[in-house]
Structure 1
Amino acid sequence: MATNTTKKPAAAAAAEESTEPVTEPTPARSARTPAPASEAVVGPALPVGVAPVKVRLSHHLGIGGADYPPGAEILVSPDYARRLRGQGYATQV
């Protein structure tokens, strides 16, 4: 196995090791809002000429900055409903 035999100069090694703690501010989370009470279509845009599908959520889900608790019924596009059911997030109403 090859090893690195070169040594760092003492001054450079001392400069690299700082004893001061590094503190970085944590990024603020975006504010979540409760699910709206209206029957608007959520998620990806609904294709033209396609009727929305109502699904009941089986798990908590955040879509577009809004929180939807388990048991909430939402209107989504048929493709998005199929993906949610496939991942176990929704059931057919």
Structure 2
Amino acid sequence: MATNTTTKKTATATTTAASESVTEAITAEARPEHTPTRPVPVVGPSLIEGKEPVPVTLSHHLRIDGADYQPGSQVRVSPDYARRLRTQGYTSRT
């Protein structure tokens, strides 16, 4: 069995410096810049002329036009599509 003849160095100075840099990085990441909210786009089938989009909160994961929407996401859809989503159980009751 081979033995290691080198002596161990204490790493307290490097550990302290490393932990301080990690703490600074975490606090910088904890405060993200405020981004203004954008209006929710209309998704799904196109609107019928003269109708306004209806906001709907999804209760299940749904993929619309190639985009994934998680439960709790709020989307604006045509009134007809909103009615179909409610019938199929994709919208929340609140």
Quote how far apart the aligned CAs of 1:58 are: 0.3
Q: Distance in 1 between matches of 2:83 and 2:51?
A: 14
Structure 2, unaligned stretches of length 5 or more? Answer: 1-37
Q: Distance in 1 between matches of 2:41 and 2:65?
A: 12
| Aligned CA distance change for structure 1 residues 52 and 59 (closer, same or farther; 3 Å) | same
More helix by share: 2
**Residue 81 of structure 2: SS of its match in structure 1?**
helix
Contact 1:39 1:74 in 2 (8 A): yes
Quote how far apart the aligned CAs of 1:91 are: 3.1
What is the TM-score with the length of structure 2 in the denominator? 0.56
What amino acid sits opposite 2:58 in the alignment? L
Asked if residue 88 in structure 1 is aligned to residue 85 in structure 2, the reply is no
Contact 1:55 1:92 in 2 (8 A): no
- Quote the RMSD (CA, aligned, Å): 1.5
What amino acid sits opposite 1:48 in the alignment? E
Corresponding position of 1:68: 69
Runs of 4+ aligned structure 1 residues displaced above 4 Å come to none
Quote how far apart the aligned CAs of 1:83 are: 0.3
What amino acid sits opposite 2:42 in the alignment? V
More strand by share: 1
Quote how far apart the aligned CAs of 1:38 are: 4.7
**Residue 92 of structure 2: SS of its match in structure 1?**
strand
Q: Distance in 2 between matches of 1:84 and 1:75?
A: 12
Structure 1, unaligned stretches of length 5 or more? Answer: 1-36
